[in-house]
Amino acid sequence: MAGANGNVLTKIVHLPGSETIDVYRANGGYVALPEALKKSSDDLIDMVKRSGLRGRGGAGFPAGTKWGFVPKGTNKPVYLCVNADESEPGAFKDRLICAKDPHQLIEGTLISCFAIGSSRAYIYIRGEFAAEARILNAAIEEARRAGFIGKNILGSGWDCEVSVYRGAGAYICGEETGLIESIEGKRGQPRLKPPFPAVVGLFGCPTVVNNVETIACVPHIVTRGWEWFAGIGTERNTGPKLFGLSGHVNKPGVYEAPMGTNLRTLIEEFGGGVPGGRPVKAVIPGGASCPVLRGDEIDIPMDFDSLTRAGSLFGTGTPVIMDDTVCMVRAAWITARFFAHESCGQCTPCREGAGWLQRLLWRIETGEGEEKDIDTLLSVTDQIEGNTICALGDAAAWPARGFAKKFRDEFLQHIREKRCPFGGGSHS
Amino acid sequence: MATVTLQIDGRTVTVPKGTNLVDAGKQAGVFVPHFCYHPGLPVVGVCRICLLEIEGRPKLVAGCATPAEEGMKIITRSAKVKEARRAVMEFLLIHHPLDCPMCDKGGECTLQDYTVAMGPAASRFRFEKTTWPEEDVGGKLVLNKNRCILCLRCVNLCKDVAGVEEIAVLSRGEETYIGTIGDRKIENELAGNIADICPVGALTSKDFRFKSRPWELKNEPSICTLCAKGCNTVVGYHPRRREVLRITARENMDVNQWWICDRGRGQFRAIHAPDRLQGPSRRTEGKVQPVAWNAAIAAIAEALRGVLARGGPGAVGVIASAELTNEELYLTKTIFRDGLGIQNVDAPERSQSPVVYPKFTIEGDRNPNTRGARAIGVAPGTGGRTVRDMIQAASEGQVQALVFLRGGPLDTFGDPATVSRALDRAALVIVLDTHASPVAEKAHWVLAGATHVEKDGTYTNSAGRVQRVHRIFSISPESREDWRVIQDLGVALGVLPERAAEAEQVFARLAASTPAFSGMTYASVGDQGAPLTAASADVAVG
């Protein structure tokens, strides 16, 4: 049932009308849901645990384990929040699913709800994804008419409602507790943990927050079995993965490949190499928060563990490729500017530190920096990391530190020459 | 209550389950710094200055947001914790104007204290600081956002204690600021507490700012006397200027927790109001003349004796007041009811609409000592008249002398026209009060009393808690504590055998003779108050 090249998650995205229920069903859609409804909640959770599916939102937490944290026999409603707030610079894989295969997401959402004992799902979508929100809403209506959403789904006696909740343009609402606050109508800012959402989440009730791609994997695990999923990729990094290539590649886009696919393979074979045959200078492997890799570090399996070992992060698996025309100080500054702008501002190290990093990088980029600014920069990243309520602090600290450490010479060149050797140094 | 035992910097401490690590540290004698955490507000965990280490955990945790667990080993003195605190201090100060010399909070500023204790001596931030203009946010507060560290105490006080969202967190990232929304201002009557709990000089009191440095003040414990709640306060007295410059909240978990209302906070103004009465005075044929204390007391006693001799005890009405202390009310009852046999003894009710906030109520009874008056028995005796009856009787000539132990507007005592007629018709009207009033204006004798910060004594709040006030200063050499004035009258009238040298002795007599107070002393009342003796309190209160 796989599509061209054996693709599963992106099997139908190239087909005309792929966002409609008819095309989805004609290609094997909504087969998993009736199968899942015959199973028990425990069986489904067990299945996902055994599949080895790790969260595709960046942290790589085992999805089945997360589901298992929902207290059994709770008398409160249980919620599923699907995180479609994809806002990390470089990441655009979830958007493809929302736009081109919304029913895969809806079917996964329904099965996941059934597994965790929920009858209510919210798909929290990034505010800028207006078209995708419309497509999802239309798909939800189709699914409702087909009897997959609503009361007594497929005669199972189980009810489930799914709705789309649009964000208002804050990256931080992709953090799971920031997302929950936002759905509750509050200022989007992360909560103190514990308690974790599985126990006290949306409206104070047990809640699971899963990434779009994570949820999209679920129907396939049900129809093909956990063994199939676990057989793809590497031992602790299983299943198919959507890789979003951007930057200096000939064919940027979303590609499906097994977890653990080599980064160089992704760039050269999927992405068609760097335009003009220029060398790869640097790659941000998994979205802007992941520390940069040098061009000589890209022979690496793209999975959570390999990148962590390499001192970076897998993140959302969406590499940004930069050739030798890119100024690393400027790249670092653009990243820092993003995180400073997106910090919710509630806790001190992130609020103050992210803005400070941005200023330091800009000063170096404009040729006004001193060598001690690099030391201050590294020290500020140390002062942020690990000291904040949520991971945005870390996300601001890691890339700045990564660029400064991996490309220290280029930073020093800016300082020595009192200018950007790439001719940069103006806002644009 | 379930407890957990843990170690903090090697000190073993047992705390109730659920206690956070800042409070557990306090109990263990280990200071854990904190800006945003306040025991009376929701935990937000945002300032990060309370980061500490738990043995076996890789990351530092926020002490305010982490409950103590059995067997935990907390470390606050490691290099890692020290570095985290220094880092937070450096971050908090990068945009801070460091304008302590001209900041009203200087001297009682947590940020200033912590900077001295653990902050870096110099900043590595070499950029222009963000600046904001100062603004009036209502609620008698001025907001200086340059000094704000976004601890959110102000936001949460309004939201959680007052139940209104009048001030909010706006924008995000380093542009985050605290502000009011649109044209709205802070209007809740608890807003003054914000100036107390703001850990920096961001929200300061319009009433107090630039009046004095906090270290110039003598801070004395007191009680608010504006309603029956009896909130505990700190009176900020400026000894050199002989002036009370502010009143702030004093923690008492049994009464007001950490808060007071803005009415109580503004009470300092009345103490120094221009209409304060000065010494005794006598009005004859429309002319008011000052009289020396001894002469006044003697003349009043003689006049009262005259009325009693001509008309008997029924010709005198004593209108006491639940604004008076227990000691003053005890003397009133002892002298007028027990000593002179006057049955017309009563005190007027004074009420207002209560103001109920989710976590604080401004009570409807405006008298601070209604419970005390009842417990002591300041009420009409057998056949005695109530306040209204006394006024009615005076207006008809049956009561010839009226002794007011607090004056006030005419309608405090009944229908204003009737009160006015009664005052005109009575042969002898005596008023003991602190401020000029329509009643005092018509009195033959006016005796100047003392406000609650100018005398020793106790009040009994609506919950039956007896609480102390202290004589912090005297408004003028001519002023006297009310209990001394009443006592002097009793001696001059021949019904008090001796004078007490201090209010404490009066209280001892009250405790010895009144079941509700039995066994109580100033020592047992302390600075947190003590409940009326339970067994008898309910009987006395009825």
pLDDT in tens, B499-510: 999 999 999 999
- B128 interfacial to chain A (CB closer than 8 Å): no
* pLDDT at residue number B285: 86
- Measure the CA–CA gap between B152 and B272, rounded to whole angstroms: 35
- What sections of B16-109 are H helices per DSSP? 21-28, 79-93
Record: contact A344-B171, CB cut-off 8 A: no
For residue B91, the distance in angstroms to the closest alpha carbon of chain A comes to 6
What is the average per-residue pLDDT within A120-131?
97
- Measure the CA–CA gap between A329 and A404, rounded to whole angstroms: 8
Q: Are B335 and B196 contacting, i.e. CB atoms less than 8 angstroms apart?
A: no
Chain A contact residues (CB < 8 Å to B): 170, 172, 187, 192, 340-349, 351-356, 359, 363, 376, 379, 382-383, 386-389
Which of B84, B94, B124 lies nearest to residue A352, judging by beta carbons?
A: B94
Residue of B44, B47, B93, B174 to mutate for A, most A C-beta atoms under 10 A? B174
* pLDDT at residue number B30: 97
- Measure the CA–CA gap between A292 and A281, rounded to whole angstroms: 10
* pLDDT at residue number B45: 97
Structure confidence by residue, pLDDT tens digits, B204-250: 999 999 999 999 999 999 999 999 999 999 999 999 999 999 999 99
Which of B87, B95, B176 lies nearest to residue A383, judging by beta carbons?
A: B87
Return the number of CB contacts < 8 Å for A and B: 91
- Measure the CA–CA gap between A411 and A422, rounded to whole angstroms: 12
CATH for B3-93, among 3.40.640.10, 3.40.50.1000, 3.10.20.740, 3.90.10.10? 3.10.20.740
| Percent above pLDDT 70 for chain A | 98
Q: Which is it for strands B428-433 and B445-448: parallel, antiparallel or unpaired?
A: parallel
Encoded amino acid at A69, one letter: F
Which of A341, A349, A363 lies nearest to residue B48, judging by beta carbons?
A: A349
- B176 interfacial to chain A (CB closer than 8 Å): yes
Q: Is the pLDDT of residue A124 over 60?
A: yes
- B50 interfacial to chain A (CB closer than 8 Å): no
Q: Look over chain A and give the mean of its residue pLDDT values, rounded to a whole number.
A: 96
Q: Which residue has the tokens 């009433």?
A: B207
* pLDDT at residue number B535: 47
Distance linking the first and last C-alpha atoms of chain B = 34
Record: contact B173-A340, CB cut-off 8 A: yes
* pLDDT at residue number B542: 35
Q: Which of B162, B167, B164 is nearest to B138 (CA)?
A: B167
Residue of B21, B35, B46 to mutate for A, most A C-beta atoms under 10 A? B46
Residues of B within 8 A of A383 (CB-CB) are 83-84, 87, 90-91
Q: Which of A227, A243, A207, A188 is nearest to A82 (CA)?
A: A207
Structure confidence by residue, pLDDT tens digits, A216-226: 999 999 999 99
Fold category of B101-110+124-210 in CATH: Alpha-Beta Plaits (3.30.70)
Chain A residue with minimum CA distance to B170: A187
For residue B202, the distance in angstroms to the closest alpha carbon of chain A comes to 16
Per-residue confidence at B534, pLDDT binned at 50, 70, 90?
A: low
Record: contact A192-B65, CB cut-off 8 A: yes
Record: contact B88-A387, CB cut-off 8 A: yes
Q: Is the pLDDT of residue B541 over 50?
A: no
What is the average per-residue pLDDT within B440-466?
97
Q: Is the pLDDT of residue B536 over 80?
A: no
For residue B92, the distance in angstroms to the closest alpha carbon of chain A comes to 7
Q: Is the pLDDT of residue A3 over 60?
A: no
What's the distance, CA A347 to chain centroid? 23
Record: contact A352-B47, CB cut-off 8 A: no
Q: Is the pLDDT of residue B203 over 80?
A: yes
* pLDDT at residue number B335: 97
Q: Is the pLDDT of residue A424 over 90?
A: no
For residue A170, the distance in angstroms to the closest alpha carbon of chain B comes to 10
Structure confidence by residue, pLDDT tens digits, B379-406: 999 999 999 999 999 999 999 999 999 9
Tell whether domain B281-541 is in CATH 3.60.15.10: no
Q: How open is the CA angle B39-B41-B44, to the nearest 5 degrees?
A: 100
Q: Which of B537, B527, B509 is nearest to B328 (CA)?
A: B509
Record: contact A345-B45, CB cut-off 8 A: no
3-class DSSP string for B320-363: CCCCCCHHHHHHHHHHHHHHCCCCCEECCCCECCCEEECCEEEC
* pLDDT at residue number A245: 97
Per-residue confidence at A423, pLDDT binned at 50, 70, 90?
A: confident
- B62 interfacial to chain A (CB closer than 8 Å): yes
B3 phi, psi to nearest 5 deg: -130, 160
In Å, the largest CA–CA distance within chain B is: 90
Q: How open is the CA angle B383-B385-B391, to the nearest 5 degrees?
A: 155
Which of A170, A348, A376 lies nearest to residue B92, judging by beta carbons?
A: A348
Does A206 sit behind a cis peptide bond, omega within 30 degrees of 0 on the bond before it?
no
Q: Could you give the 3-state DSSP secondary structure of residue B136? A: strand
For residue A131, the distance in angstroms to the closest alpha carbon of chain B comes to 27
Which of B44, B87, B172 lies nearest to residue A349, judging by beta carbons?
A: B87
Q: Which domains does chain A have, with CATH numbers?
A: 4-230 (3.40.50.11540), 240-323 (3.10.20.600), 331-417 (1.20.1440.230)
Structure confidence by residue, pLDDT tens digits, A17-76: 999 999 999 999 999 999 999 999 999 999 999 999 999 999 999 999 999 999 998 999
* pLDDT at residue number A4: 54
What is the average per-residue pLDDT within A262-291?
97
Q: Are B88 and A427 contacting, i.e. CB atoms less than 8 angstroms apart?
A: no
For residue A168, the distance in angstroms to the closest alpha carbon of chain B comes to 13
Residues of A within 8 A of B57 (CB-CB) are none
Half-sphere exposure of B342 (CA within 13 A, CB side): 32
Chain A residue with minimum CA distance to B150: A346
Structure confidence by residue, pLDDT tens digits, A170-193: 999 999 999 999 999 999 999 999
Residues of A within 8 A of B175 (CB-CB) are 345
Domain assignments of chain B as residue spans, ordered by start? 3-93, 101-110+124-210, 281-541
Q: Is the pLDDT of residue A288 over 80?
A: yes
For residue A84, the distance in angstroms to the closest alpha carbon of chain B comes to 22
Per-residue confidence at B1, pLDDT binned at 50, 70, 90?
A: confident
Chain B residue with minimum CA distance to A359: B127
Q: Is the pLDDT of residue B539 over 50?
A: no
For residue A88, the distance in angstroms to the closest alpha carbon of chain B comes to 16
Q: Could you give the 3-state DSSP secondary structure of residue A281? A: strand
What is the average per-residue pLDDT within A182-206?
96
Structure confidence by residue, pLDDT tens digits, A324-350: 999 999 999 999 999 999 999 999 999
Record: contact A356-B94, CB cut-off 8 A: yes
Q: Is the pLDDT of residue A428 over 60?
A: no
Residue of A350, A387, A388 to mutate for B, most B C-beta atoms under 10 A? A387
Which of A344, A346, A383 lies nearest to residue B91, judging by beta carbons?
A: A383
Residues of A within 8 A of B125 (CB-CB) are 356
Q: Which residue has the tokens 């329904």?
A: A110
